[in-house]
Structures are given as C-alpha cells and as structure tokens.
Structure 1
Amino acid sequence: MTLRLPPLVGVLVLLCLPSSSRAAERPARIVVDPGHGGDQEGATSPTGLLEKDVSLQVAKRVRDHLEEIGAQVLMTREEDQSLPLPERVEFANKQRPDLFVSIHCNAMPTRRTRARVQGIETYFLSASASNATARAAADRENAEAPASRGGRGDSTLAFILHDLARTEAHQDSSRLAYAIHQKLISATGGADRGVLQAPFYVLNGVEAPAVLVEIGYISHPDEGSRLARAEYQERLATAITEGVKAFLAEVRRRDSPKPAKVAAPATP
C-alpha cells in the first residue's frame, strides 16, 4: 500500500478536480482495488487461471497508465495477499481519493452457462440489484464480507444506501461507470452486458465516486483465454484509464467557475 508519485509533472493540471480549492491544488488521487488475493482466489478459468491474479495484473497496468497522465495512484494491494473487504474500504477513505475503481473477473456457476456467457459489466452502488445477473455478481463478490453486513436484509446497509442515493458522489459514480464502460466496450469489442447497479460491499462506505468493473467472464473458454494475454490486459487497462480521463474532464467542465455575466449598458 504505497503512494507512487506521478512521473509526468507537466501534465498534472490535466487531472486536477476543480470542485474544491484542495482538489484544485493537486492531481487527481485514485484508489485502484484489485479484487481478491491470498487465500481468496476468486473465480477460475477452465485452464486454471485465477481471478485474483488477473485482477492484480490489470490493476497494475491501470496504475501505470494513470500515473503516466499525472494521477496519484494508490492500490489496496500490490501483491498476492489477503485483504478483507472492510480494510479495503478503510484504506480507500484514509487516502481521501477522488475516485475508487475495483477490478474483478466474473464467472458463471454451471457448465452450460460457463460455455455461453461472456462480456463486460460495470457496476455502481445501489441498495437493490438491477437484475438477477447483478445480484449474482454482488453475492459472489460479497462472499468474503463479514456476515453481519453481508446479508441482503441488513437494515444498516439499507439505510446507508438510501442516504447515499441522494449524494453527489453516488451520481458521479454512475457517470464514472458509464464513462469507463463505454471505453471498455469500444476498445475490446467485448459483449456489452451493461452498466448495472448492485449492493457490492466494497463500494459501500467509500467516500468518493466508486465503481466495480467486471472485466470479463473468466469462466468462459474464449474470454478466459483472452484475459490471460498481456496484449488484452493492456487494452483493458488503457480503456479504463481513458474512461477515468473522460469522467474527470466532464467533472472539470461541470465544476469550473462560470464567467460572470456583465449587464448591458442602459439605453439612454
């Protein structure tokens, strides 16, 4: 969990967020979260490729690309280590980030669905899932969450999510998800499974716009093979970076001070 300083000082201003004087004085600070790790292996491909390894490899590439454009990037993990979901959220909030991006691979449970289902999904937080697919993805990723907050009927979680729905961070999470998803589909030609909402534990409580990207179905024979290739991982990482850039540019335009209107001179 180390802070990697951006190498291209000349472009720092490109990623400054103008929504506050504090943000305007520094480059964008982004937490990248590679899913799983250690004894939490996540999903597995037909050839034995592990989600925890792919998510870390892609996350490192995302970090490198974001640093190249001047961002400060912090990773929740930089090696194969176990890291509980609450610690990921706690770490992120301590950094006071402008964005949080969690990277995962998806999977299907049966032989028939593993052979058929592939594609990319991008999520932001909601108290209820968009559909059965979103619910299944959240349930799988939340399996590592503490039991006291992992259940569907947790009233505290529902209260937090209800409150969060009214915040600007939640609205910006939606915008960030769409920006990243569009770039991913365009760059990879992957099946577009949409921008969805679901109650992911790792997104709950992050005090910044936050998304979770399912970069593909590692359980699918073809897509699982693609996820193992360095060239494809590079395409994914570049697309995620381009999505982040597009979102930051949108926020900068939105939050830039508007020029004061000058009253027309009175007609004599």
Structure 2
Amino acid sequence: MTLRSLVLASALVLFGLPASSRAAERPARIVVDPGHGGAQEGATSPSGLLEKDISLQIAQRVREHLEKELGAQVLMTRDEDQSLPLPERVEFSNKQRPDLFLSIHCNAMPTKRTRARVQGLETYFLSASASNATARAAADRENAEAPTSRGARGDSTLAFILHDLARTEAHQDSSRLAYAIHQKLVAATGGSDRGVLQAPFYVLNGVEAPAVLIEVGYLSHPEEGARLGRPEHQEKLATAIAEGVRGFLAEVRKRDAPKPAQVAAPATP
C-alpha cells in the first residue's frame, strides 16, 4: 500500500466516508443555514425588508420542499430570529455529519447608483481567492460577523493532512452542487445570471461536506428587493434549490453506486 493510500484509508476511518458517498446509503441529511439573525440583520431593501427575515423565510420553504419531495432529513442552523455566530454554524453542521450544507443569503450593493442598477443570482463555493471583485465584496460583507482571528489549530501535521484528504471530494462536489442549483434558479426565476463564483466565505470554510452559499438576489435593488419579499417568488427560489439538490444527489448516487463485479472470461484451451 502506498503512503497516500494508507493516509487516505486512515482519513476515512478517522473522519468517516465522504458525505457524498454516505448519501448513497440513506436519505440525504442536509443542513440549511439561513444567513444572519438576531442583532445581525444583514442587507436591507429600500422598503425596509431585512435579509435575516428573507433568508429564514426562504430556508423554511427549502426545508419543506427537501423533506416532502426528496424525503431528506433537514436540519436548520436557526429556525427563528436569533443571533448565531458563524463558528457555531460550522460546528453545528459538522456535528450533524450532513451530506450537504446550503447557506442562504441576500446580496446588496453599497452605493445609490449600484443599488439601482445591480440585481441577479450568484451561487458560491469555497476558494482561498475570490473569482472577482464582486465575489470578494460579497465574502467581505458576509464575513463581517466572523471572529477577527481564528484560534490556532491544535491538530498535528498528520491530522491536518488527513483532514485535507477527507475534504477533497467534498470540495469538488461543492462546485458540482453550486452549478446544479444555480442553473435551476436562473431557469425558474428568469433572474439575471451573475454566475457560479468562488470566494473565501467563513461559513463554508471548515464544513466537512459539499457546501454552497446562495445569494438569492440583491435585496438592495428596488424591484428585486421587493420580489424577494413575495411568497410566490420565495416559492420559485425554494423549488429551484430543491430541484438542484435533487439533480446533484442523483448524479452522486449514480457515481457512487457499487459497480457490477467483473467476471473473468473462461480461459481458452
């Protein structure tokens, strides 16, 4: 056995099978994370709608669709208007050993000119560097609630390597999950397609499962901000997110299904 094989085998023992593999064995377990809450209000629409409320309303609809249509077990990081620090969201998620992590947010622009002009959908997965200035600004805004510094890791070098190997598949699947959801969102809502992007979101860093952050629209835009508060639009968003998850899980289960045993051909006399 090579060193890499030994390390990877140890990782599977210590950290469990990759979440995407576990999804093939039982109903999917999904953590849904409504952004902000409590004193952390997030973005605000021109009419006074708050991101913390909109994200929770959409997350509750997403949970309903995932449970009803996929038979999934859905756990919410928060189910009411409460403050919940970003590290606690990550810790909660990892304790559940989920197959997927979905963080739901609304975006915003800082100036009067950009608030009047910029709208649309963005879906993110984790990267150490942002795709562009827009992605960096989104991450900076959402990370504003994060601790100013993270405590030093107490892990040994070997434990760090094992952890990194165990998360490799989850990170690759995060990209696939982001594209699966984003395509459904754009098709269902007709919203402006601002792309699947990468950025260093705190809430995605450390989640030991395929994880995405969905910016369901710009709350700061006069028209889109108003739509985000309407139940019928929230239903479109929630349905599309659930359909994206369904498509992703179908691909994962097909990929991870046991392969038929290869029967050796009889030897030629």
TM range (shorter): 0.7 to 0.9
In structure 1, the residue matched to 2:223 is: 222
How far apart in 2 are the matches of 1:115 and 1:155? 43
In structure 2, runs of 5+ residues without a counterpart are 1-18
Indicate conservation of the 8 Å contact 1:101/1:211, yes or no: yes
Cα distance 1:230–1:74, how it changes in 2: closer, same or farther (>3 A)?
A: same
* Residue 258 of structure 1, CA deviation: 1.2
Cα distance 1:125–1:70, how it changes in 2: closer, same or farther (>3 A)?
A: same
* Residue 94 of structure 1, CA deviation: 0.6
* Residue 67 of structure 1, CA deviation: 0.5
SS at 1:92 equivalent = helix
Per-residue CA deviation, residues 202-250 of structure 1 (Å, 9 max, x unaligned), is 0000010000000000000110011011000000000000000011001
How far apart in 2 are the matches of 1:266 and 1:179? 46
Cα distance 1:237–1:148, how it changes in 2: closer, same or farther (>3 A)?
A: same
In structure 1, the residue matched to 2:8 is: none
Cα distance 1:155–1:93, how it changes in 2: closer, same or farther (>3 A)?
A: closer
Cα distance 1:124–1:259, how it changes in 2: closer, same or farther (>3 A)?
A: same
* Residue 260 of structure 1, CA deviation: 2.0
Matched, 1:59 2:59: yes
How far apart in 2 are the matches of 1:18 and 1:106? 29
Indicate conservation of the 8 Å contact 1:126/1:165, yes or no: no
How far apart in 2 are the matches of 1:136 and 1:72? 33
Cα distance 1:44–1:18, how it changes in 2: closer, same or farther (>3 A)?
A: closer
Per-residue CA deviation, residues 61-91 of structure 1 (Å, 9 max, x unaligned), is 0000001020000000000000000110010
Q: One-letter code of the match for 1:124?
A: F
Per-residue CA deviation, residues 119-157 of structure 1 (Å, 9 max, x unaligned), is 00000000000000000000000000000149xxx999x
Per-residue CA deviation, residues 12-70 of structure 1 (Å, 9 max, x unaligned), is xxxxx8824xx555311000000000010000001001000000000000000001020
TM-score calculated relative to the size of structure 1: 0.86
Among 14, 18, 21, the alignment partner of 1:19 is 21
How far apart in 1 are the matches of 2:265 and 2:165? 43
Of structures 1 and 2, the one scoring higher in RCO (CA 8 A, sep 6+) is: 2
Per-residue CA deviation, residues 136-179 of structure 1 (Å, 9 max, x unaligned), is 000000000000149xxx999xx98x947971110000010000
Cα distance 1:164–1:50, how it changes in 2: closer, same or farther (>3 A)?
A: farther
Indicate conservation of the 8 Å contact 2:34/2:103, yes or no: yes
SS at 1:147 equivalent = coil
- Runs (4+) off by over 4 Å: 162-166
Percent identity among equivalent residues?
A: 84
Indicate conservation of the 8 Å contact 2:77/2:89, yes or no: yes
In structure 1, the residue matched to 2:7 is: none
SS at 1:212 equivalent = strand
In structure 1, the residue matched to 2:123 is: 122
Aligned length: 244
TM-score calculated relative to the size of structure 2: 0.85
CA RMSD between the two structures: 2.3
How far apart in 2 are the matches of 1:243 and 1:42? 25
